[in-house]
Amino acid sequence: MVRKILITEDETNNISNQHSEIDRKLMTFLLRRVEKKERQIGYGDEYAFTVIEISFSDLPGYGFNTFSSRKDMERNMINMLYENDVIGDEVYDFKNELDTNRQKIVKTIRAFLNFILPKK
């Protein structure tokens, strides 16, 4: 289902200011490859709930679902990006959390997760 949303110029400026701290190349890389599937699990109408499975088209074997915590999703995505040479050693090193490049990558991953996962 495709939705078209009309926004004003002020809203566009606010959105671009909020996302000025993310890596646009990485965000585009993730958005082009993401595959999202929703499944109804349970029995009957009153016990059914929705599980969202997220996988990546060019990266087989990597994915997660909504049973995982967001921290686990972040760690899995950092591992996935490191193992496929999208990010370097300086970002993957968990000792160097004050590095601005690492912070930018983590903010990008969090923005991506906020974009694809439903609001609670």
Query: Does a structural domain hold residue 6?
Result: no
pLDDT for residue 120: 60
Give the count of domains, the chain. 1
- Would you tell me the crossing angle of helices 70-83 and 100-116 to the nearest 10 degrees? 120
Query: Does a structural domain hold residue 16?
Result: no
Region 41-56 average pLDDT: 79
Higher-confidence residue of 111 and 49: namely: 111
The answer to whether residues 50 and 39 touch, using CB atoms and an 8 Å cutoff, is: yes
Measured distance CA(66)–CA(120) in Å, rounded: 11
Measured distance CA(77)–CA(62) in Å, rounded: 8
pLDDT for residue 111: 92
Domain that holds residue 101: 21-116
- Would you tell me the crossing angle of helices 100-116 and 24-33 to the nearest 10 degrees? 40
Residue 4 has pLDDT above 80, yes or no: no
pLDDT for residue 9: 54
Query: Does a structural domain hold residue 68?
Result: yes
Q: pTM for the full model?
A: 0.72
Region 88-113 average pLDDT: 80
pLDDT, tens digit, for every residue of 65-81?
888 888 888 888 888 88
